[in-house]
């Protein structure tokens, strides 16, 4: 819905400006449909996926204090107010909540939050990660430039917190927590374990030790493929689970015996 300059003035005030996404003293005119919105997320939610707005193509903004429509800039050309204490000329991005620690990453090509000193850009993964993951994560090419495997929202510029799994794949932290609530401990993309499972494997060891198989099954063997180490081994079958002989993981599945070349 297009907003008038009167609507802009109603949104002004020390704590009553902007939208649920950002605090700012301006609105933007969408270059794709010429309608006025508080931010690109408001536009995309309003259009309901019929089309998305490109942040880089925004050319004009409307000051929320005086209602003046003007070229993109940090300060209003009419009343002089800063329309955003943080301003990025590249992303056409305004935000007054500078405690977020906004910064523009040239390699990502967009603005990030959390403070530049707290992040590094992984060129192979194609995204900024927390310094706590420096030399401690598995690189997956362009791992952030895909959709969350649970909710299917595009991760690269999502406003939600994202978690990097042990395997290097990524998903929303909320989606991961929901998955764990349902006792799902493997990556939906590659099936590798998403956390240290040693305590759970120990409990399975104890359960298998206490659960005897029927006589005619005790010597039965099966071939398994380990999802964690990708090794193929032949092991004693147990209905509770099959343990990888190489890495001792129970994150395995039955497979065919390997073909030996003649």
Kindly report the number of other CB atoms within 10 A of residue 84's CB atom: 23
CATH 2.20.28.10 domain locations along the chain: 198-254
The secondary structure of 70-100 as a DSSP string is EES-SB-TTT--BS-SEEETTTTEEES-GGG
For the entire predicted model, the pTM comes to: 0.74
The domain 198-254 having CATH identifier 2.20.28.10: the answer here is yes
Tell me which residue has tokens 């990097």. Answer: 164
Which residues are 111's β-sheet partners? 104
pLDDT in tens, 82-113: 999 999 999 999 999 999 999 999 999 999 99
Which residues are 129's β-sheet partners? 120
* Cβ neighbourhood burial of 199 (10 Å; 0-12, 13-18, 19+): exposed
Please, are residues 47 and 40 in contact by the beta-carbon 8 Å criterion?
no
Kindly report the number of other CB atoms within 10 A of residue 25's CB atom: 24
Please, are residues 95 and 84 in contact by the beta-carbon 8 Å criterion?
yes
* Cβ neighbourhood burial of 119 (10 Å; 0-12, 13-18, 19+): buried
- Digitized pLDDT (tens) for each residue of the chain, 262 residues in all: 334 444 444 444 444 588 999 999 999 999 999 999 999 999 999 987 678 899 999 999 999 999 999 999 999 999 999 999 999 999 999 999 999 999 999 999 999 999 999 999 999 999 999 999 999 899 999 999 899 999 999 999 888 899 999 999 999 999 999 999 999 999 999 999 998 999 999 999 999 999 988 888 888 999 999 999 999 999 999 999 999 999 999 999 999 887 777 6
C-alpha dihedral sign at 100, 180, 127, 44 = negative
pLDDT in tens, 120-144: 999 999 999 999 999 989 999 999 9
């Amino acid at each position: 819905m297009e907003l008038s300059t009167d609507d802009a003035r109603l949104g002004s005030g020390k704590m009553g400006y902007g939208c649920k996404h950002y605090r700012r003293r301006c609105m933007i005119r969408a270059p794709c449909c010429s309608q006025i919105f508080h931010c690109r997320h408001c536009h995309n939610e309003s259009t309901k996926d019929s089309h998305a707005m490109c942040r880089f193509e925004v050319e004009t903004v409307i000051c929320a204090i005086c209602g003046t429509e003007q070229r993109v800039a940090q300060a209003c050309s009419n009343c002089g107010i800063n329309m955003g204490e943080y301003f990025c000329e590249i992303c056409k991005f305004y935000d007054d909540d500078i405690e977020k620690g906004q910064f523009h990453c040239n390699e990502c090509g967009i603005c990030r939050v959390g403070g530049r000193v707290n992040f590094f850009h992984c060129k192979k993964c194609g995204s900024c990660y927390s310094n706590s993951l420096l030399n401690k994560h598995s690189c997956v090419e362009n791992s952030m430039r895909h959709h969350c495997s649970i909710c299917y929202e595009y991760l690269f510029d999502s406003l939600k917190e994202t978690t990097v799994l042990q395997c290097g794949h990524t998903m929303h932290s909320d989606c991961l927590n929901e998955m764990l609530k349902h006792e799902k401990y493997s990556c939906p993309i590659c099936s590798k374990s998403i956390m240290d499972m040693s305590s759970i494997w120990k409990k399975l060891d104890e359960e298998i030790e206490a659960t005897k198989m029927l006589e005619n099954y005790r010597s039965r063997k099966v071939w398994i493929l380990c999802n964690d180490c990708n090794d193929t081994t032949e092991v004693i079958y147990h209905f509770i689970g099959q343990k990888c002989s190489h890495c001792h993981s129970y994150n395995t599945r039955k497979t065919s015996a390997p073909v030996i070349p003649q």
